[in-house]
Structures are given as structure tokens and as C-alpha cells.
A = this chain, B = another copy of it.
Amino acid sequence: MRGWQEDLYRDLHRHPELSHHERRTAAKIAERLGRIGCQVHQGVGGTGVVGVLRNGDGPTVLLRADMDALPVREATGLPYASTDTVTDSGGREIPIAHACGHDVHVTCLLGATQLLAEGTDRWRGTLVALFQPAEETGDGARTMLDDGLAELIPAPDVALAQHVLPAPAGHVGTHAGPVLSAADSGRVTVYGRGAHGSMPQAAVDPVVLAAMIVIRLQTIVSRETSPGETAVVTVGSVQAGTKSNIIPDHAVLEFNIRTYGERTRSAILDAVRRIVSAECQASGCPKAPEIELFDRFPLTDNDPETTSRVAAAFGEFFGDRAGPMGRQTASEDFSDIPNALGVPYTYWGIGGIDPETYRRAEAAGRVAQDIPVNHSAAFAPVPQPTLDTGSQALVVAALAWLGR
């Protein structure tokens, strides 16, 4: 199995696809699921794929992997690095890379499915192998649900998912309770008044206004959020103007908020609105700002009982390569699926960094500096033992319900 798995991983890595455009990836998945002997549903929510493997009466376990890649220019130097690009509506060329490791997730879930298909004597019940599109934009899970996922598959008893992280490959980590933050993205457009750069008095300068807003937004975390509360407000993008000597008439900021509770979340969103609106008044803007929210991610709050069952199974199988995992500030839309289906879930992490490399960085106190993190241009899990571990983890966790 290792052969096709590693080949597939490199192939997916070389040919990443953006959210909702995972057509080639979906075809590869469906082809492999069919070969394994699953019932296959393609095109669920656009590019989603579901494989169902029935093995007599028993519980139903849903395993989920996400499929999409990111608009990042890969800088790993790997022989199988992506050089793929797409052209956006404005004519710009967008690079694409699997900088978040979803290629690992897909490959491992296919591997786990094959392992379970090959060992039907050791379990009973039903496996649902769900390949979800568009995790990065936070709407892939809902798209599948909106497209009738619940009617398409047997009702699961539990839902399980995993993510590859900048930790030593071969290791798995679990965490009960809130593990991934809720996330909200938003786009702020502020309107000034344009003028020639030599006539500021005729303008309402949106560049200065945008700068004041960026600065002010820092105070939401530094002053308005309880120090014990985990929250992040990032302005990931600011765009204003086209020329040095023309004061533009608007500026656009895109922000992202991470929270672990609804009260904090809504307090921060209120603060963003209050600050943007007041700063526009301070500038004397001729027009009110626009704030548009998008890419909302739910909280990932691992069910304690489910997590402890998985953790126990991991401990037995992986020994001291299994352990606890800290809370992550990242976000996921996986929980939309179990939440919609009304079933408990847990979501664990697997390492993707060459263990020796990691050990050296750790010894030098340089993990933060030397180990690339998810979404960075240099992030690419090593094929092994990442793929073996990820496949095994899914099987081991599933068997905690399905095992005889």
C-alpha cells in the first residue's frame, strides 16, 4: 500500500487545487475508493466525495479528510513542489500549494479505508470515508450538508478527523474540550475622498484612516479582552491606492478573528464595528464604512468521552508516540458536520516534520524559527512516517467503535 500512497501524496502535492475547485483531487479519490470496493458518492456539495464501506451490523463511524489547497507560492524546494497557478477574475496569476497538508489527510484516509477493507474480519459496522472540499474557506462542510449529505449516508455514531501539524512525524496528540478556535473573517471598506497627492486638504485620506484603524484594532486584544481569554485579531491585508502621488478614495482591510467563546466573539466583532465607524468619523469620511463578514469557522470543541476513547486506543497502539496536544489557534469547519448530524466528535493532530530535524531544532531552542508552520510557503510534511501514522491513527480510532 505504501507504494500507491506515497505516489498519490506526491501527485496531489504537485497538483493542488483551490477551495471548491478540487475536481482532479476528487476524481483521484473516487477512483481509489471504487478500487477499494466502496460505494462512492461524487459531487456532494460540488466536489465532495463520500465512500461507504459496509461490514455487517454495528456502529457507523464517519472519518473525514479535507481536500483543498491554498493560494501560496510553494518554497519547499521539493522535487514534487507545486508550480501550479490559476488566473483570477482580475487577470492575476495565483500560485497554489498544499501548504496546509490536506494532501496528507486525503492520502491517509484512503489508506485507512483500504486497511479496513482488507481486514473486514477484525471489525463490523459501517465506515463512512468523507472527503470534504473547501475547508480553507470554511464553507465546504456546510456545502455538503446543504447538498443532502445526511440523507446520503447512514447516520454515524461518531465523527473523527485529524490534521497534520508542525510536530514530529510518527506522533499523535489528542485534546478534550475546545481545541480549535472559532474564526471570523471580515472585509472593511472605508471611503475617503481622493485628490492629487499635493492637495491633502482637498482629500479625506483613506491611507491615514486605514493606518489608524489597524493601530486601533490592536487595542481590542491588548485592552478590551480579558488577559485570560484567548483571542486574536489579525489584519491580514490592507490595500489602498495605486500611485505615490494620488490620494485614493478608499481603502480595503481584511481581518480575521479567533475566539473560544461566543461572548468574546461578539464583543470583539462589536469592537471592530465601533472602532471602524468612529475612526471614519474622526477622518470626516463622506460615506459610512462597509463591514462584510465571510469565512466563518465554528468552534471545534472535542467531546471529552469520545476523545478519551480515542486517546486510550492511541495509547495502546502508539505507546509513547501518543500524548496530549495543546489547544490550537487555528480553525476548522469539520465540526459543522457532527453538529448538523447531532453526533459527538473528536479531532486530533499528527506530526509531519522529520523527527530528527525536529529534535535538532528543539535542542537548539529554535523550533519557532526553524520548523515551518501550516500555511507557510515552506510547509510540507515528510511522506514517512507521516502517511503510515496518519493512516494507522484513523484505523485505530475507528476500531475503538467498530472493532470486534
Contacts and interface: CB of A to CB of B under 8 A. Distances in A.
A197 B282 CA distance: 24
Given A236-B245, A247-B234, A256-B244, A201 B219 contact: no
Interface of A: 70-72, 87, 90-93, 181, 183, 185-187, 194-203, 205, 207-208, 210-212, 214-216, 218-248, 251, 254-256, 258, 271, 274-275, 277-279, 281-282, 284, 294-295, 326-331, 368, 373-377
A-B CB proximity, top 10 nearest? A91-B91, A237-B241, A198-B329, A278-B282, A244-B254, A211-B214, A197-B234, A245-B256, A185-B244, A211-B211
A128 B246 CA distance: 32
Contact of A199 (B90, B220, B327, B329): B329
State how many copies of this chain the complex holds: 4
Given A197-B256, A241-B254, 20 more contacts: A181-B198, A194-B376, A195-B373, A196-B330, A197-B234, A198-B227, A198-B328, A199-B329, A200-B224, A205-B234, A207-B236, A208-B214, A208-B223, A212-B216, A221-B221, A222-B222, A227-B232, A238-B251, A239-B239, A246-B375
Given A196-B374, A282-B216, A373-B195, A254 B258 contact: no
A194 B72 CA distance: 11
Contacts of A281: 274, 277-278, 281
A225 B199 CA distance: 9
Given A208-B219, A282-B274, A200 B373 contact: no
23 contacts: A70-B246, A90-B93, A195-B373, A197-B236, A200-B232, A201-B225, A201-B227, A201-B368, A202-B373, A205-B234, A207-B214, A210-B211, A212-B215, A218-B222, A227-B230, A234-B244, A234-B245, A236-B244, A237-B244, A241-B254, A244-B295, A245-B256, A277-B281
B240 A247 contact: no
Nearest to A276: B282
Chain A interface helix/strand/loop/mixed: mixed
A259 to B, nearest CB: 10
A7 to B, nearest CB: 29
B231 A227 contact: yes
Given A195-B375, A205-B223, A244 B255 contact: yes
A201 B226 contact: yes
A98 to B, nearest CB: 15
Nearest to A277: B281
A349 to B, nearest CB: 14
A332 to B, nearest CB: 11
A196 to B, nearest CB: 4
Contacts of A201: 223-227, 229, 368
Given A218-B208, A222-B218, A242 B373 contact: no
Nearest to A216: B282
A274 B240 CA distance: 24
A221 B245 CA distance: 16
A203 B234 CA distance: 11
Q: Interface centre among A210, A231, A329, by most B CB within 10 Å?
A: A329
A373 B249 CA distance: 14
A181 B196 CA distance: 13
Contact of A235 (B92, B199, B208, B274): B208
Contacts of A198: 181, 183, 227, 232, 234, 256, 258, 328-331
Contacts of A230: 227-228
A329 B236 contact: no
A87 B92 CA distance: 11
